[in-house]
């Protein structure tokens, strides 16, 4: 890997939100008077651990590979049960709930280093054929529709200024924005067609010229899926050292 921004993991485990304070209404078991506070703490901890390991988890975005959808410093909440249930502190899944849809954003363990979590967009699903010609994506011989909507200035992970063409891309009814830096020709604008296996998806970052994704290291096995991002709950602009209030609560269903 090099020092480019797409060489960094695009999602890192964060700390889940603290459980809401609970009050103990003076009810205690016989013979345990005075220990109600301890029971409340234990129950709260068990619930917090259960929520974190089975239901939701918080992640933060340290790189620009998903710009313009996700910015460096965004923090999001992801559902951990959208595509399966994993045993706590283990790699084994108790159950699988199918695969993500085309166009859906997913969090997964990086195939080359399962200790890191990445976040990308699903472009092709099990059984699909996918190829890329001059930057244009084809799934099952159908060109993925996109329309240029403008050009924008943005900040790289290093806080240096950059410019990119922004497109609206539509895939299976989902419409979202992607961007291309479109300078000199890049070899990754070409990708020879492959057919995905029954347990594989093909993922790409929305910042298409600055994303370390399936074009470089291949499909993602469904067993590596960690969750489905739901919404941004916090966002910090590390370049300007300020909160991005407008991003709080932004949904990530697209």
User: Catalytic amino acids?
Assistant: 65, 120
Rounded-to-integer distance, Cα 22 and Cα 3, Å = 47
Task: Kindly give the pairing relationship between strand 191-195 and strand 142-143.
Answer: unpaired
Distance in Å from the first CA to the final CA of the chain? 30
Residue listed under structure tokens 């706590």 = 88
Task: Kindly give the pairing relationship between strand 174-180 and strand 84-86.
Answer: unpaired
Tokens representing 246 are 């407008």
Backbone angles phi, psi at 114, to 5 degrees: -60, -10
CA-nearest of 195, 71, 215, 219 to 135 is: 215
CA-nearest of 104, 81, 121 to 226 is: 81
Residue 10 burial (10 A CB sphere; 0-12, 13-18, 19+): buried
> What are the beta bridge partners of residue 120?
106
Which element (helix H / strand E) includes 37? helix 36-50
Cα distances from 237 to residues 38, 154, 241, in angstroms, run 40, 12, 5
Which element (helix H / strand E) includes 214? helix 214-217
């Amino acid at each position: 890997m090099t020092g480019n921004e797409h060489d960094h993991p695009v999602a890192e485990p964060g700390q889940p939100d603290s459980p809401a304070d609970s009050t103990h209404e003076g009810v205690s078991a016989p013979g345990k008077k005075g220990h109600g506070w301890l029971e409340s703490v234990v129950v709260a901890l068990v619930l917090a651990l259960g929520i974190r390991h089975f239901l939701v988890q918080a992640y933060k975005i340290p790189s620009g590979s998903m710009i313009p959808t996700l910015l460096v410093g965004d923090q999001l909440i992801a559902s951990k049960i959208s595509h399966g249930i994993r045993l706590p502190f283990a790699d084994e899944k108790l159950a699988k709930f199918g695969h993500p849809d085309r166009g859906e954003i997913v969090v997964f363990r990086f195939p080359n280093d399962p200790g890191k979590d990445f976040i990308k967009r699903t472009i092709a699903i099990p059984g699909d054929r996918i190829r890329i010609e001059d930057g244009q994506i084809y799934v099952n011989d159908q060109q993925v529709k996109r329309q240029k909507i403008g050009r924008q200035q943005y900040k790289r992970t290093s806080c240096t200024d950059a410019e990119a063409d922004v497109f609206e891309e539509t895939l299976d009814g989902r419409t979202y924005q992607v961007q291309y830096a479109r300078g000199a020709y890049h070899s990754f604008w070409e990708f020879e067609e492959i057919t995905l296996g029954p347990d594989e998806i093909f993922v790409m970052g929305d910042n298409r010229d600055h994303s370390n994704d399936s074009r470089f290291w291949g499909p993602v096995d469904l067993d590596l899926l960690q969750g489905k991002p739901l919404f941004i709950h916090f966002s910090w602009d590390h370049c300007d050292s300020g909160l991005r209030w407008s991003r709080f609560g932004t949904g990530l269903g697209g």
